[in-house]
Amino acid sequence: MAACRRVPLMLLMSVLLYMHPIRGQKSANSVIANTAVRVNIQAQNQAAVPAAVNGGSPVVAASPPRRRTSGWKLAEEGACREDLTRLCPKHSWNNNLAVLECLQDRKEVWWSERYCLLWNYKLNLTTDPKFESVAVEVCKTTITDIKECAAEERGKGYLVSCLVDHRGNITEYQCNQYITKMTSIVFSDYRLICGFMDNCREDINSLHCGSISTGEKDVHSQGEVIACLEKGLVREAEEQPGVHAIRPDCKKAIMRVAELSSDDFHLDRYLYFSCREDRERFCENTPAGEGRVYKCLFNHKFEEAMSEKCREALTTRQKLITQDYKVSYSLAKACKTDLRKYRCSVDTNMPRAREARLSYLLLCLESAVHRGRTVSGECQGEMLDYRRMLMEDFSLSPEIVLHCRGEIEAHCSGLHRKGRTLHCLMRVGREDMGTIDNLCQKALQTLIQEADPGADYRIDRALNEACESVIQTACKHIRNGDPMILSCLMEHLYTEKMVEDCEHRLLELQYFIARDWKLDPILYKKCQGDASRLCHTHSWNETSEMMPPGAIFSCLYRHAYRTEEQGRRVGLISPQCLSRDCKVEVQRILHQRALDVKLDPELQRRCMTDLGKWCSEKTESGQELECLQDHLEELVSECRDVVGNLTELASEDIQIETLLMRACEPVIQSHCHEVADNQIDTGDLMECLVQNKHQKEMNDKCAVGVTHFQLVQIKDFRFSYKFKMACKEDVLKLCPNIKKKVDVVLCLSTTVRNDTLQDVKEQRVSVKCRKQLRVEELEMSEDVRLEPELYDSCKQDIGRLCQNVAFGNAQVIECLKENKRQLTQRCHHRVFKLQEVEMMDPELDFQLMRVCKQMIRRFCTEADAKNMLQCLKQNKNSELMDPKCKQMITKRQITQNTDYRLNPVLRKSCKADIPKFCQSILNKATGDSELEGQVVSCLKLKYADQISRLCPEEAAAQEQTGQVEECLKVNLLKIKVEGCKKEVLNILKESKADIFVDPVLHTACALDIKHQCAAIPPGRGRQMSCLMEALQDKRVRLQPECKKRLQDRIDMWSYAAKVAPAEGFSDLAMQVMTSPSKTYILAMIGLSVCILFLFGLMCGRITKRLMQEQKDR
């Protein structure tokens, strides 16, 4: 073994060219030929060749005994003459090496007497020490230049082995040709490689890798024996069941043979014979040498025309390359300098076998590229080829084969080609993490990092083929191979330009890229400094086992958003803030992740149970996150926290919600483009969308999305960014321990109302919070679902009475109001309370403000918000009043007249002052107590006491239907309070103009209106005039109750006309002209005018006299 420890290195070179004599020199070919004649020919003349190495059994002599001569030639042997004449050109007959090359690649001469002759000749040729003298003669200069070879001991074959090992540094033509020729001879039979048999004899027999005897006619011998050993080595790496462990010395010998045959595929005898036809078919014009034929065949490996035997041989060689990158001649040569430069082969913490692995080389050099270091273009090109190779064939990764075997058999059998199996495994891992083993998941993640398809989508052949049409249309403006192609594809996910197959392949890949922030090269480039500073990250090719997937990106987005307000407060960039470039990239990734909940590793990991429990049927894009938000209170704590954080983040930058932004693009362009263009959103865009929710540009998808976000916001006040930032301190001070937004709004609004009613000098709620609080109250009035207590109380009634009414625009609330008498007691109470609030603050009446928006601009621009309904009532009968608005005003008047508490002006005028009746409550109250409920109850009680003297029975009811007002009308003469009397007169006046605002009269005369005045449109007193005419017409018989109520109204109007104050000059003139004292009033007016005239005349004459006297002086 010592004598052969280096001889296996005599195995490489690439081209089997015939060498031609150089004029003036002795050619290497002639030197080798002459030496070949002089070598150990006596073996040819023995009766038998040396015994075979596996048992010592003799074999038949290759040729009859022959006299040894100095001019012996293979062509003269009788066993070879026939084949030589038929197969080899005549000019090669006199050159033993040329004959050897011609015949050794011909299957026709295998396992015959002539093959034994050739084999014995090669054996003697390669073992004779005289060849070393040939090497010294033809490689004289090279040996001097290569110090390692000059120092080798002579006579043991070490010199030639050293020259083979340093063949890349050989510049002498003759020496290069000599080494090439020797390599071609050695590689024609594994038994000619000195030492190989000694190292691998036991493994060959154990693995049944074929005959190692020259006499056995086994077609799997020679090159196939090495191929068998290589397959055994691969099976061992994949830890397949029942695998034989190959001895370490044999492993080294196998890998060294593969490495030294890496430049010329002729030297891999098994692959050469397996792929000869495929080489002619696919790589006819590819010259041999430097691994070019290998690469060409690799590129066509999955072509339909490729033979299975060749594909199998190529796969075996690729697997050897993954175990040792030096088996790829082109990769080792192209990256040799870069590997040394970045110390990719120097790591004392891991064994040499690990350093040689292709994955280690790729990770090391990719890390250098991502850090901005320079890696040669030739090396990067080779890396790209082998990264693509890893993505195309999962079997090249031993970890995938070992850990994903069960998943492949269960889900992905029959999808071996073009990366389909790998994408199938990705799909299984993405769709249900529980069905894929953790080790398999980890192996997939590792492979994605090694291949790094995020840097160049073309590495993923399955993705490239699926998305080619989308890239050509949607991403044609981006340079081919640019990392931004993947971002472009994500931007067009779920759009018309996206095709289904591309969508699936893209999400499968992005699922794994999202789990390691480093796999997005643009994000890594912009954020590596911030991640190192804030999140304590490792280098690109190092991964912390303690760090869960997605943790680094979660750290980045927390610093991107949560510290920005702190930075704005101090006016500086906080050291805890991200750089602007990094923040832009973080936002880009968040926009992409919003498309699919599975692209957020932290969310999927923490919410796996809740997703299965609540959202298993939500399969459409974006539905899973919405489902989790809908069930926020029912989620487990860790899932609730992460969903809450994402929702809070979206409230600050709603553009993260990519699907919502796509749906809302028309309304954004029309109404919110200025807000959308801001780099810092701070909740303005969502507020704009809510305000323009009912514009014509708003489509159903956008409206549903905006409403859903509003419904989510009511679960926690932190989900409304502007409200949170404006009222954070007020909430902590006034409403501690309250989390739900609706409760926080109620708490703060109650505080504001109490402070206003008590006329405190300084409001407890800050100005900015009061302003935002108003916005929240207005938004909540738009949809009954935004008022959880009202919605929960009336859910049954909504299903029964308003099932065909759509949510939004306060339509359901309006439906409940119109059907108030049919509501359940609980719902009835809530609706009444809502009406009471709206009457006190008409701006919260969404339907009124929406329908009368233009009329408010026309008539009430200067009116206070709380007096808006009063202003509209005063202009109700104007010729310019919109009919729809007029109808809405009438509805509100009807509502007001059903209960005095729903008419704030009437209520205020007809009740005593707070200090007079509720002083005891005010005295008992402390500074921080809430007084609204007690004070209002007191006021209601005292007001009821005040009118109970006139209307005791009617005031007893908690909610009346106009009875108190009717009592006040009847007792108009007895009312002493002028303010109360004036409001009663206004009620009478309004009811005269429109019978609908007088509920008692309308109820009494409803049947008569239907029979007598059905054709008369309501408004302007037309139906009331119709009833009056019917009352005067003796031919018409009205209902007794209607007749009585009409007669009462005539009496009331008669008195009201006498006592009601004039509201204008025309009204005053009319009252004067119709008064019984008309003559007296006119006389007094005339007398007054005369007195004023005479007084003015006298003052004028006196002034004129004084002025004349001053002039005369």
Read off the pLDDT of residues 505-515 as tens digits, 9 standing for 90 and up. Answer: 999 999 999 98
Helix (H, G, I), strand (E, B) or coil at 505: helix
> What percent of the chain clears pLDDT 90, i.e. is strictly above it?
21
Q: Which residue has the higher pLDDT, 714 or 99?
A: 714
Distances (CA, A) of 582 to 483, 520, 579, 588: 16, 12, 5, 10
Question: How far is Cα of residue 943 from the mean position of the Cα atoms in its chain?
Answer: 61
Q: Is residue 1111 pLDDT above 70, yes or no? A: no
482 and 402 within one domain: yes
Q: What are the DSSP E strand ranges found in 963-1046?
A: none
As a whole number of angstroms, the distance between CA 33 and CA 177 comes to: 13
Q: Is residue 799 pLDDT above 90, yes or no? A: yes
Q: Is residue 385 pLDDT above 90, yes or no? A: yes
What pLDDT score does 38 carry? Answer: 41
Cα angle at 719 between 718 and 723, to 5 degrees?
65
Cα angle at 146 between 141 and 151, to 5 degrees?
105
| Long-range contact pairs involving 358-361 (C-beta distance under 8 Å, separation at least 24) | 358/321, 358/322, 358/323, 358/324, 358/325, 358/328, 358/331, 358/386, 358/390, 358/450, 359/322, 359/446, 359/450, 361/325, 361/331, 361/335
For the segment 877-903, the average pLDDT, to the nearest whole number, is 82
635 and 579 within one domain: no
Q: Which residues contact 397 (CB under 8 A, 6 or more apart)?
A: 322, 390, 443, 447
As a whole number of angstroms, the distance between CA 600 and CA 491 comes to: 16
969 and 949 within one domain: yes
* Tokens encoding 818: 């119109």
Neighbours of 190 (CB within 10 A): 24
Q: Give a yes or no: residue 856 inside a domain.
A: no
Q: Give a yes or no: residue 106 inside a domain.
A: yes
413 and 444 within one domain: yes
What pLDDT score does 594 carry? Answer: 85
User: Which of 720, 713, 755, 719 has its CA nearest to residue 734?
Assistant: 755
Q: How confident is the model at residue 938 (pLDDT cuts 50, 70, 90)?
A: very low
916 burial (CB, 10 Å; 0-12 / 13-18 / 19+) is: exposed
As a whole number of angstroms, the distance between CA 170 and CA 506 comes to: 48
Instruction: Let me know: does 842 contact 888? Beta carbons within 8 Å.
Output: no
What pLDDT score does 502 carry? Answer: 95
As a whole number of angstroms, the distance between CA 917 and CA 923 comes to: 12
What pLDDT score does 510 carry? Answer: 93
For the segment 994-1020, the average pLDDT, to the nearest whole number, is 77
Q: What share of the chain is helix, strand, coil (3-state, %, to 5)?
A: 70, 0, 30
Q: Give a yes or no: residue 455 inside a domain.
A: yes
Q: Which residue has the higher pLDDT, 1033 or 807?
A: 807
Q: Give a yes or no: residue 615 inside a domain.
A: no
Q: How confident is the model at residue 951 (pLDDT cuts 50, 70, 90)?
A: very low
For the segment 1002-1023, the average pLDDT, to the nearest whole number, is 79
Domain range holding 642? Answer: 628-713
Q: Give a yes or no: residue 19 inside a domain.
A: yes
* Tokens encoding 241: 């069941």
User: Which of 317, 858, 231 has its CA nearest to residue 326?
Assistant: 317
What pLDDT score does 864 carry? Answer: 85
Q: Give a yes or no: residue 421 inside a domain.
A: yes
641 and 511 within one domain: no
Q: How confident is the model at residue 165 (pLDDT cuts 50, 70, 90)?
A: low
What pLDDT score does 935 carry? Answer: 39
Domain finish residue from 183, 206, 229 = 206
Q: How confident is the model at residue 797 (pLDDT cuts 50, 70, 90)?
A: very high
Span of 98-112, 365-379, 786-800, 929-943 with lowest mean pLDDT: 929-943
Positive or negative torsion for Cα 143, 149, 155, 161: negative
What pLDDT score does 498 carry? Answer: 93
Q: How confident is the model at residue 618 (pLDDT cuts 50, 70, 90)?
A: confident
Instruction: Let me know: does 552 contact 537? Beta carbons within 8 Å.
Output: yes
* Tokens encoding 587: 């936002």
Phi, psi dihedrals of residue 346, rounded to the nearest 5°:
-120, 100
18 and 141 within one domain: yes
441 and 533 within one domain: no
Q: How confident is the model at residue 862 (pLDDT cuts 50, 70, 90)?
A: confident
147 and 57 within one domain: yes
Q: Give a yes or no: residue 880 inside a domain.
A: no
Scored b (16 or more CB within 10 A) or e, 569-583 reads: eeeeeeeebbeeebb
For the segment 993-1021, the average pLDDT, to the nearest whole number, is 76
pLDDT digits (tens, 9 = 90+) for 727-761: 999 999 999 888 888 899 989 988 988 888 787 88
Q: Is residue 15 pLDDT above 70, yes or no? A: no
For the segment 16-37, the average pLDDT, to the nearest whole number, is 41
What pLDDT score does 460 carry? Answer: 93
Helix (H, G, I), strand (E, B) or coil at 988: helix
Model-level pTM? 0.68
Span of 316-320, 981-985, 1028-1032 with lowest mean pLDDT: 981-985
Q: Given the structure tokens 């026939």, which residue do they identify?
A: 82
Q: Which residue has the higher pLDDT, 1070 or 296?
A: 296
What pLDDT score does 554 carry? Answer: 85
For the segment 379-396, the average pLDDT, to the nearest whole number, is 92
Scored b (16 or more CB within 10 A) or e, 824-863 reads: eeebbebbbebbbebbebbbbbbbbbebbeebbeebbeeb
500 and 524 within one domain: no
Q: How confident is the model at residue 855 (pLDDT cuts 50, 70, 90)?
A: very high
* Tokens encoding 648: 């809070």
Q: Is residue 536 pLDDT above 60, yes or no? A: yes
82 and 172 within one domain: yes
Span of 257-261, 274-278, 432-436, 745-749 with lowest mean pLDDT: 432-436
For the segment 435-449, the average pLDDT, to the nearest whole number, is 89
pLDDT digits (tens, 9 = 90+) for 454-493: 999 999 999 999 999 999 999 999 998 899 999 999 999 9
What pLDDT score does 960 carry? Answer: 43
Q: How confident is the model at residue 538 (pLDDT cuts 50, 70, 90)?
A: confident
What would the 3-class secondary structure string for 225-254 be? HHHHHHHHHHHHHCCCCCCCCCCHHHHHHH
Helix (H, G, I), strand (E, B) or coil at 1043: helix
* Tokens encoding 437: 């083993």
What pLDDT score does 113 carry? Answer: 45
Positive or negative torsion for Cα 713, 714, 715, 719: positive
Q: Which residue has the higher pLDDT, 1053 or 1042?
A: 1042
222 and 115 within one domain: no
Instruction: Let me know: does 603 contact 557? Beta carbons within 8 Å.
Output: no
What pLDDT score does 876 carry? Answer: 84
User: Which of 386, 343, 336, 332 has its CA nearest to residue 368?
Assistant: 343
What pLDDT score does 45 carry? Answer: 38
For the segment 565-575, the average pLDDT, to the nearest whole number, is 43
What pLDDT score does 96 carry? Answer: 65
What pLDDT score does 561 carry? Answer: 73
Residues shown for the chain: 1113
Q: Which residue has the higher pLDDT, 261 or 959?
A: 261
Q: Of 666-670, 865-869, 962-966, which one has max mean pLDDT?
A: 666-670
As a whole number of angstroms, the distance between CA 537 and CA 11 comes to: 45
What pLDDT score does 386 carry? Answer: 93
Q: How confident is the model at residue 11 (pLDDT cuts 50, 70, 90)?
A: very low
For the segment 406-432, the average pLDDT, to the nearest whole number, is 83
Q: Is residue 329 pLDDT above 70, yes or no? A: yes
Q: What is the mean pLDDT of the chain?
A: 76
What pLDDT score does 166 carry? Answer: 72
Q: Give a yes or no: residue 1067 inside a domain.
A: no
As a whole number of angstroms, the distance between CA 208 and CA 227 comes to: 12
For the segment 106-111, the average pLDDT, to the nearest whole number, is 49
Instruction: Let me know: does 267 contact 275? Beta carbons within 8 Å.
Output: no
482 and 435 within one domain: yes
Q: Which residue has the higher pLDDT, 891 or 897?
A: 891
For the segment 195-206, the average pLDDT, to the nearest whole number, is 80
Domain finish residue from 308, 324, 340 = 324
Q: Which residue has the higher pLDDT, 880 or 926?
A: 880
Domain finish residue from 682, 713, 744 = 713
As a whole number of angstroms, the distance between CA 196 and CA 250 comes to: 8
Give how many domains the chain has, as a whole number.
9
What pLDDT score does 565 carry? Answer: 46
* Tokens encoding 364: 């090391």
